[in-house]
């Protein structure tokens, strides 16, 4: 009984091992690494910038930001957002 269970275990182990090394026997696999990571980073930055614009709008309304500071920050954020959108479009079109 014990040896039979051991045999099943050994069989299962072999299957698992084969499953894990299977990709090594395939041909070359496309590495999605760089372009997708960059796009991810840009998408993330874009979402942060959208949130930041909303945030400084709210801060200005509350009175936590001077008018000059607010205008300067908003122009910078909008500029950076539009640059990033352009960059995302460029990567997508490639």
Partner 1 sequence: MTPVLGSVSLSLAAGFGILSIILLSLYIRSDDYRFFLAGRRMAIIVSVLVIIATLVLVKELITSNFDVDYVAHYTSIETPTVYKFTALWAGQSGSLLFWIFILSIYSLITIFQNRNRYHRMMPWVLCVILTVQLFFLILTNFITNPFEPTNADFIVANGLGLNPLLQNLTMAIHPPVLYLGFVGFTIPFAFTVAALLTNEKGSLWVRSIRRWSLVTWLALSSGIMLGGWWAYQELGWGGYWAWDPVENASFMPWLTGTAFLHSIIIQEKKNMLRIWNAILIMLTFALTIFGTFLTRSGVMSSVHSFTESSLGPIFLAFVAIIVTVCAVLIFHVLPNLKSNKHIESLTSRESGFLFNNVVFVTMCFAVFWGTIFPVISEAVRGTKITVGPPFFNQVNVPIGLLLLMLTGVGPLLAWRRTSRSNFIKYFSIPIGLALIAAIVFLLSGFRGYVVISLMLSVFVVVAIVTEFKRGIQARVNRFGESSFVAFRTMVRKNRSRYGGYFVHLGIVLMFIGFTGQAFNLKKEFGLGINDREHLGNINFELKQLLEEERPNHFAWISELLVTGNDGNSITTLRPEKRIYFHRDSNPDRRQPHSELDIHSTLKRDIYSVFSSIDADNDIAFFQIMINPLVQFVWYGGSILVLGTLVALWPSRREKLLT
Task: Please state the closest distance from residue 39 (CB atom) to partner 1, in A.
Answer: 10
Using alpha carbons, list the distances in angstroms from residue 17 to 5, 11, 82: 18, 10, 49
Q: Is 78 in the site for partner 1 (CB under 8 A)?
A: no
Q: Is 86 in the site for partner 1 (CB under 8 A)?
A: no
Q: Is 83 in the site for partner 1 (CB under 8 A)?
A: no
Residue 38 near residue 20, CB atoms below 8 Å? no
User: Of 50, 39, 60, which Cα lies nearest the Cα of 82?
Assistant: 50
Q: Is 11 in the site for partner 1 (CB under 8 A)?
A: no
Rounded Cα–Cα distance for residues 15 and 11 (Å):
6
Contact residues for partner 1, defined by CB under 8 A: 2, 5, 9, 13, 16, 19-24, 26, 28-34, 36-37, 40-41, 43-45, 47-48, 50-52, 54-56, 58-59, 61-66, 69
């Amino acid at each position: 009984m014990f040896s039979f269970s051991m045999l099943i275990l050994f069989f299962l182990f072999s299957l698992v091992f084969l499953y894990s090394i299977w990709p090594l026997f395939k041909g070359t696999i496309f590495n999605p690494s760089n372009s997708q990571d960059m796009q991810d980073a840009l998408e993330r930055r874009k979402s942060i910038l959208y949130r930041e614009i909303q945030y400084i709008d709210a801060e200005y309304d509350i009175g936590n930001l001077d008018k000059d500071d607010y205008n300067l920050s908003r122009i910078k954020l909008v500029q950076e957002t539009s640059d990033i959108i352009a960059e995302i479009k460029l990567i997508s079109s490639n």
